[in-house]
Structure 1
Amino acid sequence: MKKSDFHFDLPPELIAQVPLSERSASRLLLVPADGGAFADKQVRDLPLLLRAGDLLVFNDTRVIPARLFGNKASGGRVEFLIERLLPDNEARAQLGVSKPPRIGSKIALDAGGEAEVLERDEAGFWRLRFHVGQALENWLQHAGRMPLPPYIQREPGADDAERYQTVFAREIGAVAAPTAGLHFDDALLTALRERGVQFGHVTLHVGAGTFQPMRVDDLHQHKMHSEWINVGAELVQQVRHTRAAGGRVIAVGTTVLRALESALVDGVLQPFAGDTSIFIFPGYRIRSVDALMTNFHLPESTLLMLVSAFAGKDRILAAYAHAVRERYRFFSYGDAMLLWPQEASA
């Protein structure tokens, strides 16, 4: 199977540049996995699509204001995108710079303080130590800028600090939002609770590698970037109780699905905390969830391959063609789809 098998044509004007005024106002394309007709819904219809005893699993990661700027001693400009926070005020980061800095050199930060260059790994990421007078995690909250995806062709505004976070974000560490979760607001969560739907959480700190294109055409030759996950014992118990009672487990986002699949041991979900580099594409059998809510993904991306593993490549590409015809909004601030087995109808 080739990367080029997952190409589709997307009119640029369908790439959402700003969020809607209300989180839950987005459209929702219902995609029955068994070949049933697509249905154009609203995210606000979720309480009607789910039933008491179902379990929605969210990713509770919180996006770091991970974008910084500075100057080398030579005067050359440097753009930072922090990939991961490390102990001792260190971080793993991508650097946008015309000429790579020397190991041991220091970069003056526009927001004050400096970053010391420690090393560069074989994947091209830099390890830096930040001298900013306080814990790096705290300093970034006022010094960093929200790292909007590269396909959003504008600078982040004041509203993005709130809208590019989920309302349940709590575990600091991501450099990109788990975008399916962006559709949920307090009113929708209340309606779902009143329906009897249960909520669970995992953590997957989305890394900058999520926006890196595949550099090989053969899927079997691709190596996924590593991301940190935590699937806790409480969530594992929630999943077991849901299944035992006949409820359904619905992953809100591909990050949740990747975390749950990474925590399977011989097909059984177990607590797990650590790194995952799982790559899910057609031929992989997904066992951890019954349904998946997800935004629309980039052509030829690993996330498009993941949803194709869930519902089938031809089925997904047909759904995307429908979404283009019906003028759905794409990517992070766009609309969503619900991959839904026909037998799971409410």
Structure 2
Amino acid sequence: MKHYLFILLAIVIACKSSDKPTPAPTPPVTTVDTVGKFQNPLLTAAPDPWVTYKDGFYYVMHTTGNNLRIYKTSAMSRLNSARPVTVWTPPATGPNSRDIWAPELHFVNSKWYIYYAADNNGNDATHRMFVLENESADPTQGTWVDRGQLGLPENKWAIDGTLLQQNGQLYFAWSGWETDLGGSQYIYICQLTNPYTVSSTTRVKVSSPDYAWEKNGFGVNEGPEFLVHNNKVFLIYSASFCGTDLYALGQLTTDASADLLNPASWTKSATPVFGPNAGNGTFGIGHNSFFTTPDGKENWLVYHANAASGQGCGDNRSIRMQPFTWKADGSPDFGIPAPITQWIKRPSGE
């Protein structure tokens, strides 16, 4: 009898225990604080990025191949929310009708200028630099006037042109062939009297693909971009063939007071300053640009990269950005390419 009562009591207790609500599952612990942060890429299918800042807005361009488009945004980390404005389409035929590459937007003497490379109906050997001009305060508005081909000295193959305003002078740097027969690419520089008129009678070669890390695929120095800091002028360029994963950034350095048209004024870093690749969705790193946040507190590197190995020079290249600092000697410290899985703090002021 006692045994029966014990069993009955156990059943009652079990039934009462089953009436208790099932506890809610414990939410997973979030190890990454994403508030105020972003992840790369900023834009997909966007090689050869260029960014400049004026009056509260960043203006961004990149290679499309068949037109010139400008993105306007007040927040670089939210670039994918901006809608591009097509400001120019090429003629059906002629010297600037095809392969519209690496456009850059510059503000000089109260006017906007776009420099771009183009060729004659797909004939790569005819690639030259061209210039457009706009008097509007906003480069996504107004009228773009065709200033024609930029008459670079010796009139050789030329791509990836960029402009520097320094010590009251205008300088133009680009990537070019030494002859008309192709082969290795070099960095040249010349002087301008105004944004669409060249004053130099000869082009000055300031960089050749000398090191092994500049010769993957074949010897390439291209995508030159000026960076001025304190009393130094840096020329950051892309090295090796963009079709390899080993595309990387190199660096030339000179004093701000030096003769920029004297090759002896420039010193080349013996190793890459950024890249070549870091895995984790960052392959074929190159063709960079820079910006400083409006409050002057942060410096940022903008560049393109592929998300996977072997994707080459096509539209798989996407725009990335990350902050950089300065070394004790005044040169830039770009760090290592950030994985696309990394959350990065948004630029100051965003």
Task: Tell me the TM-score normalised to structure 2 length.
Answer: 0.25
Task: Give the structure with higher Rg (CA).
Answer: 2
Structure possessing the higher relative contact order (Cα contacts under 8 Å, 6 or more residues apart): 1
More strand by share: 2
Give TM-score scaled by structure 1 length: 0.26
- In terms of fraction of residues, the more helix-rich structure is 1
